Amino acid sequence: MTTTPGPDEIVSDLVRAARGLPVRRTPVWFMRQAGRSLPEYRALREGVEMLTACRTPELVTEITLQPVRRHGVDGAILFSDIVVPLHAVGVEVDIRAGVGPVMARPFRSRADLARIPALTAEMIPDIAASVADITAELGPVPLIGFAGAPFTLASYLVEGGPSKNHERTKALMHGDPGLWHDLCARLAEISGAFLEVQVAAGASAVQLFDSWAGFLSRRDYREFVEPHSARVLHRLARTGVPRIHFGVGTGELLADMAAAGADVIGVDYRTDLPSAVSRTQGQYPVQGNLDPALLFAPWDVIADQVRRILDEGAAAPGHIFNLGHGVLPQTDPDVLTKVVELVHEKGSSAPQM
């Protein structure tokens, strides 16, 4: 078990902001900052399959460090994929370019639970090695651990891949709720174990991604999803690291995502930060939330939006600047660097520590 450091021991602005502590300047990182927008990433990945890249420590380390070197961001995010822990326990999955994760045998019945064993640290020595190597290189810059939430993992398994409507997922959820909850309980154990390994190896924070939760009604989220995300987040509470909870299209679910056990609420670009702060009763630091598409606008437009978000984030107990979803592949990396510089300049204009 990790002992939570006292306020005076926390050096990283990102971790301080996640704890609601005073910072020197607003910290910034970007979801998908390690990826296709960087020419050095594309060169490194040429001819290498995604799952191979995610499970090769030398590649994971280099890819994770690339945006820290280029952009000067305040945090690194482990280069990985949502389905890596499923792959680690033996689920047959392929990540197809332009499609995403595709399951060889979609989840259809209770018998399929036997194909999804518990995840142990012995199954992912490469992940522990990657995290240890990365944190050794990062020094004071924190590494954020990465895992998919149980609902998103379940959706990939049940649908067999990405889905526009999640019809099979919702049919199972309502048609056989017992099986649904058993599946999600298994996936919560896998996600929790995956994150614990990362923290034990040196990650300073974790983010639980629920990519597809925005397709659910609030009633369904509360009944079928929140208890399982809560299991993951409560398990991570004993590690002492901040827990960021992020979902896409989840503006109406923010209060419930906070109640699941988050320390920081990730806000996508569809919900403005004042609304997010209000919906969570002003009790949680927030992360976000520049629309990734706006990075293609003229610089003066981008700069105005960055300043607006910084002003809005100041109303929360803490603010980590980020996009409202991941960096788009065609994004100019130089624009991301300029955003970081502006956040650091504007976010440190008034002394905070």
Per-residue pLDDT reduced to its tens digit, 75-126: 999 999 999 999 999 999 999 888 889 999 999 999 999 999 999 999 999 9
Per-residue pLDDT reduced to its tens digit, 149-189: 999 999 999 999 999 999 999 999 999 999 999 999 999 99
Residue 16 annotated as catalytic: no
Residue 81 annotated as catalytic: yes
Phi/psi of residue 166, each to 5°? 60, 40
pTM of the model: 0.94
Residue 156 annotated as catalytic: yes
Residue 243 annotated as catalytic: no
List the catalytic residue out of 16, 19, 25, 32: 32
Q: In the predicted model, what is the mean pLDDT of residues 255-283?
A: 96
Residue 263 annotated as catalytic: no
- Neighbour-count burial of 175, counting CB atoms closer than 10 A to its CB (0-12 exposed, 13-18 middle, 19+ buried): exposed
List the catalytic residue out of 16, 133, 156, 235: 156
Structure-block tokens of residue 166:
């999640």
Helix axis angle for 57-71 and 125-138, nearest 10°, is: 30
Q: How far is CA 174 from the centre of its chain?
A: 27
Domains of the chain by start residue, with CATH: 7-346 (3.20.20.210)
Side-chain-side CA neighbours of residue 262 (13 Å)? 29
List the catalytic residue out of 13, 74, 81, 133: 81
Per-residue pLDDT reduced to its tens digit, 306-333: 999 999 999 999 999 999 999 999 999 9
The pLDDT confidence band at residue 3, using thresholds 50, 70 and 90, is: low
Side-chain-side CA neighbours of residue 148 (13 Å)? 22
Using CA atoms, how far apart are residues 129 and 131, in angstroms rounded to an integer?
Answer: 6
Q: How far is CA 35 from CA 127, 137, 198, in A?
A: 18, 19, 20
List the catalytic residue out of 45, 222, 270, 307: 45
What per-residue string of b and e applies to 79-88 under the rule 16 or more CB within 10 Å gives b? Answer: bbbbbbbbbb
